[in-house]
Amino acid sequence: MSTRITRLEAPPELRLWSDRCRAAGMEVGLVPTMGALHEGHRSLIRRARAECDRVVVSIFVNPLQFGPGEDVERYPRTAQGDLAMLDEEGVDAAFVPGAAAMYPSEASTTVHVDAALTSILEGAHRPRHFDGVATVVAKLLVAARPRRAYFGIKDAQQCAVVTRVAADLDTGTTIIVCPLVRDHDGLALSSRNVYLGAEERRRALAIPRGLSAAVRAFEAGERRAAALAALVRRSMEASACGVDYVAVVDPTRLSPVDAAAPGCEILVAGRIGRTRLLDVIRLGIDEAPLGAAGAQEKTSRA
Ligand code: AMP
C-alpha cells in the first residue's frame, strides 16, 4: 500500500486538493480510470506527469455507464496493485470514491450528449452508456477542474463524447487523446482481457490481424471504406469472433465515410463469448498492429 499518494474519497476532498494545487500556481492533470490498471493506463499517466505539475488519477467503476446484464459486478478490481502502480509512477493523488460518494441517493442530474454522437456505434449496442460516461466525467471535471484530462483513443467514441462535454460545459479543461497501447501479441490492452481464456485470446487476435490487413491495403492505395471494413470483418468471422461493428469513420463526428483518407479511423467492436473487445486504427498514422510475420513485440506486460 502506498504511503506517499494523497488518497481522496469524495468529490469535496478532490476539489479541496485541486484548489490548493491551483492556489500554489500548479497545473493539475486528471487521468480517469476504472482501475485494474495496465500499460495503457500507465501511458496516460506518464503523459500527464510529463505535462502537468500535479497529477490525480481517479479509480471508479462507474455503475451509471453499465447497462442491465453487463459486467459491473464482475469487473476486475485490483486496488492494491493499482495504488502500487500509481506510487511507482509518481502520481500525486488517487481519487477512489465509493458509489455513494459519487451518487448520493438524492442525486437526480445526468449529462446527456446529443444522440447524433451517442446513439451510433457503441451507443447502438449499449443504450445510455454514454450518458453514464458524460455524467461521471462532468462530475470529475467540476470537482478537479484540471487543466488537462487524459483519455485513450482505444475508446474512440468516448474521446469524442468527453471532448464535447468539456467544451460544451465550458470546463476550461483540454482533453488530450493518447495512442492505443497493445500487448506483446498485438491485442489492444484492456482490463477486460483477463476474462479471456487461452483459446479465446487466440481468437481475439483476429481483430488486430484484420486491422493489420486493412492498414496494409490502405498503404497499398485501397481507399474504399467498404473494402477496408470487409478485410477486418472477414478476419473476425474466420475466427468465430462476433462482430458488433466495423466502421470506417471521420474522427471528429464519427460519421461513416465512403472513401477513406489519412486520419480516418477504423473502429471495431467484437465479442468473444461474453467479452466485448474494442480496437481502433488511425489510417495513415498507426502502424499495422501485427508485423508481416504475425505477432510483434509491442510493449512489455504490465
Ligand atoms: P478504463 O479504465 O478502461 O475506463 O480506461 C481508462 C482510460 O484508459 C480510458 O481513457 C481508456 O481509453 C484508456 N485506455 C484503456 N485501454 C487503453 C490502451 N490499451 N491504450 C491506451 N489507453 C487505454
Query: 164-187: string of b/e by CB count within 10 Å (b at 16+)?
Result: bbbeeeebebebbbbbbbbbebbb
**Phi/psi class of residue 141: alpha, beta or left (left: φ > 0; alpha: ψ in -120 to 50)?**
alpha
* C-alpha span between 12 and 120 (Å, rounded): 35
Amino acid 299: pLDDT: 47
Q: What is the pLDDT of residues 107-123, one digit of tens each?
A: 999 999 999 999 999 99
pLDDT over threshold 70, residue 142: yes
What is the grid cell recorded at 168?
460544451
Q: How far is CA 181 from CA 22, 76, 101, in A?
A: 31, 19, 32
pLDDT tens-digit readout, 56-109: 999 999 999 999 999 999 999 999 999 999 999 999 999 999 999 999 999 999
Strands 148-152 and 174-178 come out as: parallel
* Closest ligand 1 atom, residue 31 Cα: 7
* Residue 41 Cβ < 6 Å to ligand 1: yes
Ligand 1 atom nearest the C-alpha of 34 is: 2
Q: Which residue is catalytic, options 41, 112, 125, 129?
A: 41
For residue 4, the model assigns a pLDDT of 86
CA of 260 to the centre of ligand 1 (A): 26
Within a 10 A sphere around the Cβ of 155, how many other Cβ atoms? 19
38 is catalytic: no
Which atom in ligand 1 lies closest to the alpha carbon of residue 190? 16
The CB of 163 under 6 Å from ligand 1? The reply is: no
